[in-house]
């Protein structure tokens, strides 16, 4: 039998392997298991750790989190749609960043079974933009959505110095609450909700789940697309959503959601104890 080693590190899954997860619904389209396990291989940590998809519906989330407290070989998990806000109320501790945003996209379990969560989506999104050569400081941004990913992106844009942020959400009350929280933390940022979008938009961003399924509506109008210098996604799979296809056809620069995951992957693994 082959020894299954690379550089002296065993890549075999054994009873000693620490389990990482991706908690989402749906999960079949997710890119993060393949990306994370590839990174673990590159770090020579695969075998000591493995990341597996965990398809958890909303109705079962509380029971699932309770069970994780008793799974002693569970080390942590990436948390994706639609659980980023709900899971923040089910775990034992939030980092200051997660408390500010009100959402979690990665958790870890300590030896006593306590679960801590943080949020890295916002820094990942901004890091992806900056890595691609786009500017956030002094930018006028439009963001569709007010859920977990969108909230994280909104706070990160404000933290990194955007000049103005316009929030568009199907439920205006949720956008109003998010706008008030952003203004409280970053009073220098001009935050508006609903109504007419800015005449000039440097970056328009989809922070909703629209685009994950065939036939989804656009998260904002083609008029907004035409006013935008850059159209950006938080949806990771498919990489080319209908929004990005339409934007490219209309001559706009585009930025896919994969960059958001790529730029935070090492941070996620480190938070889960596998970095």
Q: Which domain holds residue 127?
A: 122-260
Pairing of the two strands 9-10 and 5-6: antiparallel
In this structure, the answer to whether residues 167 and 59 fall within a common structural domain is no
Q: Burial code of 1-29, b = ≥16 C-beta within 10 A, e = fewer? A: eeeeeeeeebbeeeeebbbbbbbbbebee
Q: At what angle do helices 32-42 and 258-271 cross, to 10 degrees?
A: 60
In this structure, the answer to whether residues 153 and 112 fall within a common structural domain is no
Q: DSSP for 83-126, please give it.
A: -TTGGGGTSSEE-HHHHHHT--SEEEE-TTS-EEEE--HHHHHH
In this structure, the answer to whether residues 107 and 132 fall within a common structural domain is no
In this structure, the answer to whether residues 97 and 128 fall within a common structural domain is no
- pLDDT for 2 equals 36
In this structure, the answer to whether residues 26 and 87 fall within a common structural domain is yes
Say which of 11, 18, 83, 84 is annotated catalytic: 84
In this structure, the answer to whether residues 256 and 128 fall within a common structural domain is yes
- pLDDT for 10 equals 65
In this structure, the answer to whether residues 104 and 138 fall within a common structural domain is no
Structure tokens at 259: 């960059």
Q: pLDDT tens digit string along 128-140?
A: 999 999 999 999 9
Instruction: For residue 265, give the H/E element and its range.
Output: helix 258-271
Give the integer Cα–Cα distance in Å for 60 and 56: 6
Q: Is 84 a catalytic residue?
A: yes
In this structure, the answer to whether residues 163 and 230 fall within a common structural domain is yes
pTM, two decimal places: 0.89
Instruction: Indicate which CATH number applies to the domain containing 182.
Output: 3.40.50.720
Task: Tell me which residue of 28, 84, 89 sits closest to 62, measured CA to CA.
Answer: 89
When divided into structural domains, the chain yields a total of 2
In this structure, the answer to whether residues 129 and 245 fall within a common structural domain is yes
In this structure, the answer to whether residues 202 and 234 fall within a common structural domain is yes
- pLDDT for 11 equals 81
Q: How far is CA 28 from CA 53, 113, 212, 265, 269, in A?
A: 8, 28, 11, 19, 21
Q: How far is CA 36 from CA 22, 25, 83, 151, 225, in A?
A: 10, 18, 20, 24, 33
In this structure, the answer to whether residues 137 and 22 fall within a common structural domain is no
Give the integer Cα–Cα distance in Å for 20 and 15: 14
Going from the first residue of the chain to its last (275 residues), give the mean pLDDT of each consecutive group of 10, the final group possibly shorter: 43 94 95 96 97 98 98 97 96 97 97 98 97 98 96 97 96 95 96 93 97 95 97 96 98 97 96 95
Instruction: Indicate which CATH number applies to the domain containing 60.
Output: 3.40.50.10860
Question: What is Dmax (Cα atoms) for the chain?
Answer: 66
Give the integer Cα–Cα distance in Å for 23 and 107: 10
In this structure, the answer to whether residues 182 and 84 fall within a common structural domain is no
């Amino acid at each position: 039998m082959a020894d299954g080693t690379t550089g002296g590190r065993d890549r075999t899954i054994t009873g000693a392997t620490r389990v990482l997860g991706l908690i989402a619904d749906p999960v079949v389209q997710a890119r993060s298991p393949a990306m994370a396990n590839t990174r673990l291989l590159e770090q020579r940590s695969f075998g000591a750790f493995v990341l597996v998809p965990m398809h958890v519906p909303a109705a079962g989330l509380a029971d699932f989190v309770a069970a994780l407290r008793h799974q002693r070989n569970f080390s942590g998990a990436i948390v994706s749609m639609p659980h980023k806000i709900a899971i923040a109320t089910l775990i034992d501790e939030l980092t200051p960043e997660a408390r500010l945003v009100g959402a979690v996209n990665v958790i870890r379990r300590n030896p006593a079974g306590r679960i801590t969560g943080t949020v890295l989506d916002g820094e990942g999104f901004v890091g992806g933009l900056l890595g691609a050569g786009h500017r956030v400081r002094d930018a006028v941004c439009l963001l569709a959505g007010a859920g977990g990913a969108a909230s994280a992106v909104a706070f990160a844009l404000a933290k990194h110095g955007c000049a103005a942020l316009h929030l568009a959400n199907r439920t205006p009350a949720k956008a109003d609450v998010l706008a008030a929280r952003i203004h409280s933390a970053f009073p220098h940022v001009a935050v508006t909700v609903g109504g007419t979008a800015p005449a000039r938009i440097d970056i328009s961003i989809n922070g909703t789940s629209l685009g994950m399924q065939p036939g989804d509506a656009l998260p904002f109008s083609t008029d907004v697309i035409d006013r935008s210098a850059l159209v950006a996604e938080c949806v990771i799979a498919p990489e080319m959503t209908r929004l990005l296809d339409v934007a490219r056809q209309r001559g706009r620069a585009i930025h896919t959601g994969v960059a958001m995951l790529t730029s935070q992957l090492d941070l996620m693994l480190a938070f889960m104890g596998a970095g």
